[in-house]
Amino acid sequence: MSEKRVTRVEVETDRGVFMISVAAELADMHPQTLRMYEARGLVEPKRSPKGTRLYSQQDVEKLRRVHEMTAELGLNLAGVQRVLDLESEVQGMHARIEELELQALRAQVELAQELEQVRRSFRAELVPFRGGGPGTQLVRAADARSPFQAPPRPGGRL
């Protein structure tokens, strides 16, 4: 008795590897149904150099979804196409939202860094000052008068 040997090969899910008969069997459909779905634009199999249709794993999964929508949900092919278009549109919007969120996060980080630089520069310039009024105020160091220095006299003479 010979031993049965199984070999697993991993292929990108968008690479066309199944001929129409295999894809139809995997999707539990008749090959003519796959041709009709292609004519309606629901799937677009790749083509070999000789023109043979080559379906990918993604194509087979899409065919199963189309079958599910028509058989179980009762949608016609126009309805299926609309659902697929809307799903594609939603995916595009999600990608755009992620892109915008990333841009906003980067801008937030930049603003936080700039704000910290401004705080540091003011921290060096601001000093506590007890002026003539109640309490302590923060003023720019250049505007603060030393308590040991006489106030300027009218006319500019010391």
Q: Which amino acid is at 23?
A: A
Whether 142 shows a pLDDT value over 70: the answer reads no
* Residue 125 near residue 141 (C-beta atoms within 8 A): yes
- The pair of structure tokens assigned to 16 is 């066309």
Name the average pLDDT for the chain. 85
From 1-15, 60-74, 96-110, the region with the lowest mean pLDDT: 1-15
Per the document, the length of the chain is: 158
The answer for residues whose C-beta is within 8 angstroms of residue 155's C-beta and 6 or more apart is: none
pLDDT at position 131? 64
Predicted pLDDT at 122: 73
Which is higher by pLDDT, 25 or 130? 25
pLDDT band at 10 (very low <50, low <70, confident <90, very high): confident
Span 20-74 CATH architecture: Orthogonal Bundle (1.10)
144 has a pLDDT exceeding 70: no
* Mean pLDDT, range 103-132, rounded to an integer: 83
Segment 46-90, tens digit of pLDDT: 999 999 999 999 999 999 999 999 999 999 999 999 999 999 999
Return the sign of the alpha-carbon dihedral for residues 7, 13, 17, 18. Answer: positive
Domain extents in the chain = 20-74, 76-125
Report pLDDT for 16: 84
pLDDT at 143: 66
Read off the tokens for 115. Answer: 């704000």
**Higher confidence at residue 131 or residue 43?**
43
- Say yes or no to pLDDT of 158 above 60: no
**Among 16, 95, 28, residue whose Cα is nearest residue 65:** 28
Q: Return the pLDDT at 37.
A: 95
Q: Quote the percentage of the chain above a pLDDT of 70.
A: 77
Nearest to 66 by CA among 39, 91, 43, 92: 43
